[in-house]
Amino acid sequence: MKRNFFVVDQDNEETHDPADIGFDLESPPADDALLEYNLILLFSEMDQQLAALNHKKDKHPYAVIAVLLQMLNECAEYSESVLKIDPEREFLSNLANVASDSFSHLRLLHVKQNRMSDATALNLYKGWTGERVERHRVFKEISSGMEQILKSYLSFFSSGFADPDFTDQWNDICEVFTEDLNKSLQSVSF
């Protein structure tokens, strides 16, 4: 079975031709139960990270970027270990490039070996000498771009089930999770 992947923007509209991302899933995971088990583990970890994000966002606003970074890198690891996606395909890099079209400051984050790094963005945040409102705008854009990449990953993961009922259930779970994440991100003051 061949599955194509597409990226959606914040209005759930396709933002890029799937063929341009250069990714498809040649064969589905072993079975839906195994996929679901691994998704439960992934979501459990990301739910804890969301709680950490909510706890830290007021005292340490940059921690939001670090938590989102951890979530994205765990999605990359999940795609490699569970879905057996070759890291050489640079899937995360492709998603970041697509998201950068809408969120240009996302380019401050770098992808190497299918993992994202925030070293440049962190140095910029720590050394910021300009207006606070401009810093907020730049890092809000970065977090929105990271959120878009995460939504794309989760949408792809939920589409990997052979059983359409599992797909529907996991789409609902992904939607609730991303709505909670979005609410948390809206209240961050970088």
Split at pLDDT 50, 70, 90, the class of 23 is very low
Residue 3 lies in a domain: no
Q: Does 135 fall in a domain?
A: yes
pLDDT at 189 over 90: yes
Residue/partner pairs of 119-123 with CB below 8 Å, 24 or more apart: 121/65, 122/62, 122/65
Q: How confident is the model at residue 92 (pLDDT cuts 50, 70, 90)?
A: very high
On whether residue 155 sits in a domain, the answer given is yes
Beta bridge partners of 24: 4
- Residue 139 falls inside a structural domain: yes
Q: What local confidence, expressed as pLDDT, does residue 93 receive? A: 93
Beta strands in 92-160 (DSSP E): 110-112, 115-117
CA 178 to chain CA centroid, Å, is 10
Domain region containing 96: 29-186
Angle at 160 between CA 154 and CA 161, to 5 degrees: 120
Domain presence at residue 11? no
Q: State how many domains the chain has.
A: 1
Gap between the Cα atoms of 165 and 70, Å rounded: 29
pLDDT of res. 107: 94
Q: How high does pLDDT run on average in the chain?
A: 86
Residues 61, 157, 29, 33: is their CA dihedral positive or negative? positive
Provide mean pLDDT across the span 1-16.
Answer: 43
Q: Are the C-beta atoms of 62 and 190 separated by less than 8 Å? A: yes
Quick check: is 81 in a domain? yes
